[in-house]
A and B are shown apart, each in its own frame.
Chain A
Amino acid sequence: MTNEDKKCVAQFEIHYTQLLNQQGELVGALPEFAASAEALIALYRTMVQTRTFDTQAIALQRTGKLGTYSSSIGQEAVSVGIGSAMRFEDVLLPTYREYGAQFQRGVEMSEILRYWGGDERGMAYHAQPHDKAITVPIATHVPQCAGIAYAMKLRKQPRVAVCVLGDGATSKGDFYEGINVAGAWHLPMVIVVTNNQWAISVPREVQTHAQTLAQKAIAAGIPGEQVDGNDVIAMRHVMANAVEKARTGGGPTLIEAITFRMHDHTTADDASRYRKQAVVDQHKLLDPIDRLRKYLIQHHDWDDAKETALLEACTIEVEAAVRSYLDTPPAPPESMFDYLYETLPDALQPQRDEVESLGKLKRGGDHNG
């Protein structure tokens, strides 16, 4: 029996959105929000702020002042697009390259530095009560996102849960389990796959034989689409549509944002072992910040003076965060017990006492020494 003799029972298409091409030229219909210079400059500012932060964080790691760090350089449009399309009361479940979204949502730069500086207080997010802390075990936050979205749905809250993960994460079972229930229960959630082409050293085409990652949504019965993740206008547009659809009862969406990881996986990685500089150089031409700058110069009187002023402001802001981070004394050692349970069980009190007294001894010793 050939396929021609078989009845087609289902057909699917995956659509791709790009609004600004790599020259910064408009190639699609400008979304309503993007008519405002102010809105575009705000996106531009956050992208520049994020890159300034990333650059400084890498420098801190290289000089021994920060632990291993994962940068979002080259992917700023994805995270900034995500953050700009969400409301404060929504919930973001980030992985470790979503600083652009996190900053927009009230997470402080000094907190991100504390986190990578080995301090749990970097996940306290004092100005952001809703969002999960950065998820490290890949894709484990997708089921949690479904649980959060279910809570919102049960309580009839007009809120949305947004889960961000990488291309490698779509190979994991948790990813599929999470998007499957999102479809089955019609949950108010958006799953963003930041396809930066690399899962550490394994390129996208080795990761999966699927033609797109967006099509993985089809198996879960939810819409999946692609967007140029280096085009912040398209990114915000597609994201805002998905978020508002979820908010108004339209169910989940999976967005595959195509971008490129310009830096090593983390500062502990050396990408030159597995990818050619020529490939990286090629992607420099697609840079999301350069692209929007070209558009702003052309359409909104952006100039060198404004650019310099912005860079200076971002540098000042990042330097203040670095100072706050470096000036933070370490937490007392016994604090490792203090957020384990709401009330420390009696069984653990002797261990806490031991750590506390050893800590005092050590600090006393330091003074005497």
Chain B
Amino acid sequence: MAEITIIEAVNLAMARALENNPDVVVFGEDVGVNGGVFRATDGLQQRYGANRVLDTPLAEALIAGMAIGMAAEGLRPVAEIQFMGFIYPTIEQMICHATRLRNRTRGRITCPMVLRAPYGGGIHAPEHHSESTEAIFAHMPGLRVVIPSSPLRAYGLLLAAIQDPDPVVFLEPKRIYRMMKQEVPDDGEALPLDVCFQLRDGTDVTLVTWGAMIHETLQAADQLEAEGISCDVIDVATIKPLDMATILNSVAKTGRCVIVHEAARTCGVGAEIAAQLAEYGLLSLFAPVQRVTGYDTIMPMFKLENDYMPSTERIITAVKKTLEEA
């Protein structure tokens, strides 16, 4: 079996969904003939037709609103927003409608839609193409926010998102779209949502992260391992709703926790994790929780983006700080 990248796994999952379920419709800007600016939908229009894989007008609120309408009629829309920097016009549709449709109608009308978008920095992109603002969506009741970090999880979690009976925002870490390859069997098997994935088992410290930061976090874990420091590494994957049980279990074992995310620190998802650790895991902790995050600044343009984003070194420093405590 050939190994594939995350972007190829995203494509494979959409093809599988289109193949298996006639209700699946894929649409967005440039997703048709062009196959998406990152090629996420490459070849899908040719295979499944322009009625099911289609280019929309350039209007993001429209894309989200149409997904809601299609979902309300029982289709399984998979809508693409070209970059997360352009997702903000969808917020009204998501918070006022997608998340509320089931609740407003007491279950009469539901909204099984997926809103996909590439997100995050590190690809030397133009202004507005590098932010990580997942916390905005994580704050919306009724929504799921899912972020894959490997080809296997991209395939399995996107299928799960498409099958989910409720709206899902699926954010793809574009910096690692082509960074790694894995064998991904195209078996149509979804992975579970709402649970963290344990990537490494360790005893000294818990590293909690998601998205592209998995890469730096695993690098840090490797370097620390060489120094005799053993890390539990958790990929949160579904940041809303949050599987705190896995994180709390890990911290009960290690007593130390470092949270790593690319997004700005204040009110980032790391803040929620830290708050819940304080509420439910304080007595397990030997040291204050550390956060290694983007800063509370505007995401700088690409000359300075690496100074903004957490580095392996910053993660290692934070881990060592937690170990300095008794």
Which residues of chain A have a CB within 8 Å of any CB of chain B?
A: 91, 120-121, 123-125, 129, 132-133, 136-137, 140-152, 154, 161, 173-174, 177-178, 180-181, 184, 339-342, 345-348
Contacts and interface: CB of A to CB of B under 8 A. Distances in A.
Contact of B97 (A123, A140, A154, A348): A140
Contact of A180 (B57, B194, B244, B245): B57
A145 B103 CA distance: 19
* Most chain A CB neighbours (cut-off 10 Å) among B25, B66, B110: B66
Contacts, number: 136
Interface string B18-40: 00000001000000000000000
* Most chain A CB neighbours (cut-off 10 Å) among B75, B165, B243: B75
A125 B108 contact: yes
28 contacts: A91-B73, A120-B103, A120-B104, A123-B104, A125-B108, A133-B109, A136-B96, A143-B62, A143-B64, A145-B69, A146-B62, A146-B69, A147-B68, A147-B70, A148-B73, A149-B69, A150-B70, A161-B69, A177-B57, A177-B62, A181-B62, A339-B102, A339-B106, A340-B102, A342-B102, A345-B194, A346-B194, A347-B241
B25 A146 contact: no
B106 A123 contact: yes
Contacts of A341: 102, 142, 165-166
A184 B57 contact: yes
B148 interface: no
A74 to B, nearest CB: 28
B159 interface: no
B56 interface: yes
A140 B73 contact: no
A133 B104 contact: yes
Nearest to B73: A151
Contact of A340 (B62, B108, B142): B142
Contacts of B68: 143-144, 147
B105 interface: yes
Interface string B39-75: 0000000000001100011010111111111111111
Of the four ranges (under 10, 10 to 19, 20 to 34, 35 or more), the interface on chain B belongs to 35 or more
Nearest to A121: B106
Interface of B: 25, 51-52, 56-57, 59, 61-75, 77, 89, 92-93, 96-97, 102-110, 141-142, 165-166, 194, 241-245
A174 B73 contact: no
Contact of A147 (B57, B67, B105, B109): B67
A177 B60 CA distance: 9
Nearest to B27: A150
Contacts of B92: 137, 140
Contacts of A181: 56-57, 59, 62, 66
Contacts of A148: 69-70, 72-73
Contact of A150 (B59, B64, B66, B108): B66
Given A137-B92, A180-B59, A347-B242, A147 B106 contact: no
Contact of B59 (A123, A161, A177): A177
A342 B107 CA distance: 8
A150 B74 CA distance: 12
B65 A142 contact: yes
Contact of A140 (B67, B96, B165): B96
B241 A173 contact: no
Contacts of B103: 120, 339-340
Contacts of A184: 57
A134 to B, nearest CB: 9
* Most chain A CB neighbours (cut-off 10 Å) among B56, B73, B105: B73
Contact of B69 (A120, A123, A129, A151): A151
A119 to B, nearest CB: 10
A115 to B, nearest CB: 9
Contacts of B52: 154
Contact of A144 (B66, B74, B102, B142): B66
4 residue pairs, one from A and one from B, having the closest CB atoms: A147-B69, A143-B65, A147-B66, A151-B73
A154 B70 CA distance: 10
B165 A173 contact: no
A346 B69 contact: no
A342 B106 contact: no
Nearest to B108: A124
Contact of B93 (A121, A129, A136, A140): A140
A120 B93 CA distance: 19
Contacts of B57: 177, 180-181, 184
Given A181-B56, A347-B243, A140 B104 contact: no
Nearest to B77: A147
B142 A124 contact: no
Contacts of A339: 102-103, 105-107
A136 B96 CA distance: 9
Contact of A132 (B63, B72, B89): B72
A133 B61 CA distance: 19
A184 B57 CA distance: 8
